Amino acid sequence: MNKIDENRLYWIDAIRSFACLCVLLTHSVIPGGTRGNYIIAPIQYMAVAGASVLFFMISGALVFNKPKPFVPFIKRRLAKIYLPMVIWTVVTLLIFCFTGGLKWSQLPNALMLIPFTQQFGTYWFIYVIFGIYLLTPMVATWLEKCSRTDVLILLIVSGVAMTVPYLRIVDKDFSKALYTETGSLYYFVGYLWICLMGYYIRRYVNIPKFKWWHLLVLLLVLALPFALQWLGEPYALVKKRTTINVVLLCACYFIIIKHIKLSQRMKLAVYNFAQHSFGIYLVHMQIIKFILTPLVNSLDLSYTVSIPLVFVSSVVISYITVHLISKLPFSEYLIAYKS
């Protein structure tokens, strides 16, 4: 696209581009290094909130916006999201077989399991988001009928519930409260709630003018994980994608980028990168795992060098790969390039 479409939400393209870069940054920490590991935790924490969590918010902002018929919606998502993932899973499994990471005798079973569970760890997101898509026509219909107050109450109550695991400071049994299938709160919070927050921010949150307390809120959100760890919470809990601190940071990303004024040139740039983002998500981990990881391990680099190197290299190589694939016939079934 060479000209501006006045009806397009370019701030969504900007958020999607940012989230895509965060995904690559998250995976740019290659295990095995021993030097410079002090930078791993803050990078992983900041990037996790901007990676998959932000993609859930984007999905909610887009698909919850208005009711849609079930069958056409699911058929389109199967072709646009699910089919490319299946194709790239098969490609990845074949690479594993040729490189010795998977026995050929295990391949038939792995192929049969693809429709039901992830066979390549990076693609867990597709299975979760498709499960949410199955509920989307019902949720979108409900959202059309309810008021802003109804949605806000649900978000607030869910947010309070997400603080329950941190009550382990008082009693360790609370840490299991949201992660037990027989617990009532287990079904009340999670990725569907995060999608709902994306919908709410898109529809209702507009900040015409920056105020000093906005900066204070951001600083408090940034300080929250450090405060939680100081109180004794383990880092493994603090960085979970569905913890309240990670979701709040993600919401800050979403709101800030939504309100950035983009120039005409920047709108076209983020549109272009966003068009490549799903394809980059599908191919980047293979590039990191099979090309960049052996290279970095052979050089024995410090994390202060290896993380930027892997990140920049994976962005460039993945973008070029997806751009070349987009020139092929039926490329929309390989990388969902077309919007």
Q: Give residue 59's identity as a one-letter amino acid code.
A: S
User: Is residue 5 in some structural domain?
Assistant: no
The angle at the Cα of 99, spanning 94 to 104, to the nearest 5 degrees, equals 50
Task: Give the relative orientation of helices 303-325 and 40-50 as an angle to the nearest 10 degrees.
Answer: 30
Instruction: Answer for the pair 242, 179: CB distance below 8 angstroms, yes or no.
Output: no
User: Is residue 274 in some structural domain?
Assistant: yes
pLDDT tens track for 157-215: 888 888 888 887 777 777 677 777 777 777 778 899 999 999 999 999 998 888 888 88
Nearest residue to 221 (alpha-carbon basis) of 175, 142, 159, 155 = 159
339 pLDDT above the threshold of 50: no
pLDDT tens track for 124-140: 999 999 999 999 999 99
Q: Give residue 129's identity as a one-letter amino acid code.
A: I
Report CA dihedral (57, 60, 62, 68) to the nearest 10 degrees.
170
Token pair, residue 55, equals 């993609």
pLDDT tens track for 15-67: 999 999 999 999 998 876 656 577 778 888 888 888 889 999 999 999 999 88
6 pLDDT above the threshold of 90: no
The angle at the Cα of 33, spanning 28 to 36, to the nearest 5 degrees, equals 85
User: Is residue 67 in some structural domain?
Assistant: yes
User: Is residue 194 in some structural domain?
Assistant: yes
What is the DSSP code string of 129-191? HHHHHHHHHHHHHHHHHS-HHHHHHHHHHHHHHTTGGGGGGT-GGGGGTTS-TTSGGGGTSSH
User: Is residue 78 in some structural domain?
Assistant: yes
Range of the domain at 85: 10-335
Q: How many separate domains does the chain show?
A: 1
Which of 33-42, 318-327, 330-339: highest mean pLDDT? 318-327
Instruction: Answer for the pair 195, 54: CB distance below 8 angstroms, yes or no.
Output: no
Place of tokens 């191919």: 283
User: Is residue 160 in some structural domain?
Assistant: yes
User: Is residue 3 in some structural domain?
Assistant: no
Greatest C-alpha distance within the chain: 62
Instruction: Return d(Cα 161, Cα 301) in angstroms, integer.
Output: 42
User: Is residue 125 in some structural domain?
Assistant: yes
